[in-house]
Every structure is written in structure tokens, then in C-alpha cells.
Amino acid sequence: MQRYFIDQAYQPTVEITGESHHHMSRVMRMTAEDQVFLVFNDQTAIKARITAIDNEKVMLEEVEKERLQRELPIQITIASGFPKGEKLELIVQKGTELGAHAFIAFPGDSSVAKWDAKKQNKKQQRLNKIAQEAAEQSHRQALPKVNFTSEKELMAAFADYDAVLIAYEESAKQGEKAQLVQTFQQLQADQKLLVIFGPEGGLTPREIELFQTAGAKLCGLGPRILRTETAPFYLLSAASFYYELQY
């Protein structure tokens, strides 16, 4: 069953226009009595029935609320140093499927990719579209947002989180394996975790020192060295196992 994110608060009857109307009427060729899932911006999700559809709008009414909880208990934001090529698209798509709450991209010291403000804006729009499509496909109840930021802005945002971790390959090489689990143990439902990942060249000693001084903690992600696009998936999968499969 198709799923659509609606940029308005929950209400039992809904009128839809624009892109979602086009997808329902032209792409899916839906008709009256067809059913879809709707997710509102307050994270309320319902099953809805089409009561009327024409060339301008779709009218729907609630059948029932979705009761299965599909979101991770804690809100995990993935911060990635600009990677090469289309790796950021992959991180956002698969990270959304795995439950990430939000994504931040920043220019790392080792980043090969250099995007000016115009290119960042265009890429941000594309990434948010990818996140929406992935959220609909994976039946999320929250729509992750993708933002670009500077190093200074990233560190200033540390105060908005209950914990900040740095996925650091040197910690993995040294066998560090306690910090991630300890962090999961300490965080309560609805608290916020920020995890920082470097680009292909990793995070530099300068960046590590700055982030640690601002309150971030180093953590290893197992004994193997992971690519910049793989490490966030490891982290999110570990969170899913810890919070959703153990209990």
C-alpha cells in the first residue's frame, strides 16, 4: 500500500493536491475506495480511504490509525564529512531505511568534494527528495531532513543533543568497543544522539581535537575498518538490534 507524507497536522479528513495528487491520480491511477497510508508532520500515521478524486485534488478520510511503532526509540542524526561522488545519496537513502532521524553534511578537512553554496542547495533538495522516497518505501512515521552546515555550526549544534559520538577508525584499530554500547545504555526514549563520520580520508587530528573539546566522545565500530558510506549503516543497524530486537 502506498505511503505519503503530508505537510500538515493530523486531521481525519484530508484534501491533497500537488505532487502527491499527481502520483495518486496519474502514476498509480487510483480511484475512489482505494486506500493509502498518510503520515502527518506530527508523526501521526493513518490508513485512509479515497472518497473522491478529480483533476485537481484527492479527498480522503481516515479508516484507522497505524498502531505499529516504526521509529527508533532514540533520534539518531548522521553527520557526514562531504564524501566523493554519489555516496551521500546512498547514505541518505539507506540511512533513512535503517531509521536515521536526520542527516548533516559538512566539509571535512579530508573531503575531496568541494560544493559551493549553489551546488549545496541543489544537492540538498535532491537529498531531501531521496529521503522522502526512502521514508515512504520503508513505511517510516517520521521524515528525515538533510542539512548542510559548516564545521563551526556543527559544533555549535552539539548542545542540541544528549550525546555526541565520533566514529573513529583509530579507536577501532585499538579495539575500543565499549563507548557505543555505554551510550545506548545511557540514552532514554526520545533523547537525541549525533554521530560524526569522516569522509574517505577520515577525520584529521585537528578535527578530532576540536570535536572532543566541544564534548564529543570517540567510539569504535567493531574491529574492521569501514568505508565512509558503510559506517553509518553499521551504527544504525547496531541501534536497531539494541533497541528493537533485544526486547
Predicted TM-score of the model (pTM): 0.91
Residue 103 belongs to what domain range?
75-245
Say how many CA atoms lie within 13 Å of 167 toward its Cβ: 30
Residues 139, 184 within the same domain = yes
pLDDT one digit per residue (tens) for the chain, 247 residues:
999 999 999 999 999 999 999 999 999 999 999 999 999 999 899 999 999 999 999 999 999 999 888 999 999 999 999 999 999 999 999 999 999 999 999 999 999 988 888 889 999 999 999 999 999 999 999 999 999 999 999 999 999 999 999 998 776 556 566 899 999 999 999 999 999 999 999 999 999 999 999 999 999 998 888 999 999 999 999 999 999 998 6
Cell of 38: 498518510
Query: Which domain CATH number covers 131?
Result: 3.40.1280.10
Count of structural domains, the chain: 2
For residue 145, give the amino acid letter.
K
Same domain? 219 vs 102: yes
Does a structural domain hold residue 70?
Answer: no
Same domain for 135 and 28, yes or no, is no
Query: Which string of DSSP letters, residue by residue, matches 19-57?
Result: HHHHIIIIIS---TT-EEEEEETTS-EEEEEEEEE-SS-
